[in-house]
Structure 1
């Protein structure tokens, strides 16, 4: 049957049909089988995602056909995310290396970066920024790419994640402005202050993790879970961030589905939940002054769970 497949568009259509029939989960960069199939086929052929439609009729060699068919079978049989299969993904319009050393980049923070963090930074001077829990480095590197006057520290506790982040720093040629740091949150950043701290920390609950589809089992659990309610790491960030923000500093953190649990846990803290093109995505902004004003409630909540 596959002998009838000849062109790029043939293989995209075939892969999308197979993915739909197999009941795969699409949660790693794409939300549908056609985009996922396009990613797999074009990346396998070392072609850009915005390939002009006229090239869709291009015929594949036998080696290319065999390679793509093998990847389609692995995507279905092993439930491996496409980004891991092809070794690359796109975030905020930039290409990054992607493998099992870190989560597949997929944060809606990309939309904030592409939009210049407007309106949050419209009246704010930023020269130093921090990407906390950086994983592959995509958020911090993208911030540096979109803001050439910024220097950015990217921090993670995982040696594996940082090794991938270093490769992405070199891949994007931002070695002079992006510094990778191994640290358990702020531990290795004593005395360091920033105008902007952005974090996409682990926030999946243990129950949620147990129910995740097979695709997520290929990602490091360290980058996903954060206690019973998903808020352990977020609370530590809230408790410590003011010490690492300049006077007019801003904190932006993604907590996903744990948004409601966080709001209930700290009802007096004035979290501003950021609206995206598709709606609320569980990402808040907080001023340094608000972190200081509500530090007692934050510290109490963190202390109550032994943090």
Structure 2
């Protein structure tokens, strides 16, 4: 049985169970959604990694409640319209395999909430661990100028601006749609005076500048992994995921040009995920600093301006 037909059977069960007349409280819907998700064929990898946390996010956010809402509220009864809202959200999660972040237009990164929709990928970069520790051991002083290349929702740019309150951050993306979402989040955090969305194909339209820190989470999924991805990922913009046969088409361009945009003590921090194996194989002599991340993430490296200049001939 395919996942689609299996989930369709669950949708029929939901209808037969007459859920609105059987369930009444927030706690009822949390338990029920948790059970349904455990029975369904779903993938968890867009902010949550298990069915309970995803049920919690869907139900509480669907009711316009914070994720840390007092548990005393869990015993309160829901109105008919609230029940129907939750039923619709659960049904869409099953039927369309839509990630919860798109259903609720809400995702979390570095402890901050961001608006997201299908114009951007859902924030989940392990670079969050580096932002939260202030890029410790990678930079010697707080950066004044930061570039977030391939900004998407703007989550990295905004989180950097919050961490370094004296810094200005350029948030660059090729997609105008993505930049429109980033602007929503920039305005949400009142950062229009310090975070600047810029439309450019990587560095091509950027004015000459010297950044103390370039942070980038570019598309890096290789062709094989892209074709094998769970259905949830196909709701995200493909241009934000795949990057050629080995997943490194965009990364190579960044490596070739980043040095021109870094200050003398500037550092490039780049995520390549599973494509790190391709990068190491292609550039065995380059001393990539593969950063150990407190959140367990892998595939993030750092290179100084001097290192980028030294090995530029290989990247070009």
Identify the TM-score tier after normalising by the shorter chain: over 0.9
Which residue of structure 2 lines up, in the alignment, with residue 64 of structure 1? 82
Shift of residue 278 of structure 1? 4.5
* TM-score, L = length of structure 1: 0.94
What SS does structure 2 have at the residue aligned with 1:65? helix
Which residue of structure 1 lines up, in the alignment, with residue 161 of structure 2? 144
Counterparts of residues 1-307 of structure 1 (less than 5 Å):
1=17, 2=19, 3-121=21-139, 123-299=140-316
Provide Cα deviations, 1:15-51, integer angstroms capped at 9, x if missing partner. 1211121120001011001111111111111111122
What SS does structure 1 have at the residue aligned with 2:286? coil
1:136–1:280 distance in 2 versus 1, CA, 3 Å: closer
Contact 1:88 1:97 in 2 (8 A): yes
Query: In the aligned structure 2, how far is the partner of 1:272 from the partner of 1:52?
Result: 43
Contact 2:34 2:52 in 1 (8 A): yes
Q: Which runs of 5+ in 1 are unaligned?
A: 300-307
Number of residue equivalences: 298
What is the aligned-residue RMSD (CA, Å)? 1.1
Query: In the aligned structure 2, how far is the partner of 1:280 from the partner of 1:97?
Result: 23
Provide Cα deviations, 1:208-259, integer angstroms capped at 9, x if missing partner. 1111111111110000000000001001000000000000001000000001
What SS does structure 1 have at the residue aligned with 2:148? strand
What SS does structure 1 have at the residue aligned with 2:270? strand
Q: Which runs of 5+ in 2 are unaligned?
A: 1-16
* TM-score, L = length of structure 2: 0.92
Bigger shift: residues 221-230 or 141-150? 141-150
Contact 2:142 2:164 in 1 (8 A): no
Q: Which runs of 4+ in 1 moved over 3 A?
A: none
Query: In the aligned structure 1, how far is the partner of 2:254 from the partner of 2:77?
Result: 52
Shift of residue 119 of structure 1? 2.5
Shift of residue 116 of structure 1? 1.5
Shift of residue 205 of structure 1? 1.1
